[in-house]
Amino acid sequence: MVYDTIRDLIAQADQAIREERFDDLMEFYTDDAVLVLRPGREAHGKEEIKRAFMAIARYFNNSLVPSQGKMMMLEAGDTVLVLSQSFVEAEKKPDSEYPSERRATYVYRKVEGKWLCAIDNSYGTTLLDSADKTE
Amino acid sequence: MVYDTIRDLIAQADQAIREERFDDLMEFYTDDAVLVLRPGREAHGKEEIKRAFMAIARYFNNSLVPSQGKMMMLEAGDTVLVLSQSFVEAEKKPDSEYPSERRATYVYRKVEGKWLCAIDNSYGTTLLDSADKTE
């Protein structure tokens, strides 16, 4: 049931991104959420995350279509780790180097009875490619 | 600081595994923690996790030496996602197919002022290889 609930929330968030409803999108995040923009660059909190999504939409010339494929969840009480095949399509993609398929890691937390995204990392474990051993 | 704290906790847990101090090891987990044993197989809660570590030690003929390499953390308040290059060495490894290097994903939670492991998934996003699209 948690699987279906969270999968549905992610689909709703993707829909909000497609329709550029960024205020609605923020309803899916915790107040102290973190979004990975690219390796080494993060947005913290709803205000920064919202601004980042607006910048991403501009980068993709307002044609961004995110979606999820295979998904797996690991549940520990009020904390869920989501592993997800994540796709980004964009008609007007300016840079063909932008990877269109990824293996994302999201952490969801149940806060006051509601599942919210606390950690949004579409890069998954590939962030380790650019990590310093002593970081 | 959280990075150093959690990196140190993981090193202490690895040390407890090497020394087969499984009661001590359980102090590093939340009560409702989940450990991925292999794709599709999980242990939930301290009792199951402890039994699983005892079985893993037997499988490796009591010569298991886990360690971590590169590590990255994403922090959202009292929740941290750890991405870690994880190594398993075993002198008496019965099966050379067992992968000795992985990209693990761990979720840590601050519970009553103490950081504890809630989700222990040494397989990282490779679990998606065996996930059903409609799981």
Number of domains in chain B: 1
B134 assigned to some structural domain? no
CATH of the domain at B11: 3.10.450.50
State how far residue A32 is from chain B, nearest Cα, in angstroms.
5
Distance separating alpha carbons of residues B124 and B21, to the nearest angstrom: 25
Q: Does B83 touch chain A (CB under 8 A)?
A: yes
B76 assigned to some structural domain? yes
Distance separating alpha carbons of residues B110 and B47, to the nearest angstrom: 21
A73 assigned to some structural domain? yes
A134 assigned to some structural domain? no
Distance separating alpha carbons of residues A51 and A54, to the nearest angstrom: 5
Domain region containing A90: 2-125
CB contact under 8 A, A81 and B125: no
pTM, full prediction: 0.91
Beta strands, E only, A1-135: 29-38, 41-44, 64-76, 79-90, 101-111, 114-121
pLDDT class for B135, splitting at 50, 70, 90?
very low
pLDDT at A131: 77
A49 assigned to some structural domain? yes
A131 assigned to some structural domain? no
Q: Does B56 touch chain A (CB under 8 A)?
A: no
For residue A79, pLDDT over 60 is answered with yes
State how far residue A123 is from chain B, nearest Cα, in angstroms.
10
Cβ atoms of A47 and A27 within 8 Å: the answer is no
pLDDT tens-digit profile of B29-40? 999 999 999 999
B38 assigned to some structural domain? yes
Nearest to A128 among B32, B85, B107 (CB): B85
Least confident of B18-22, B28-32, B61-65: B61-65
Percent of chain A with pLDDT over 70: 90
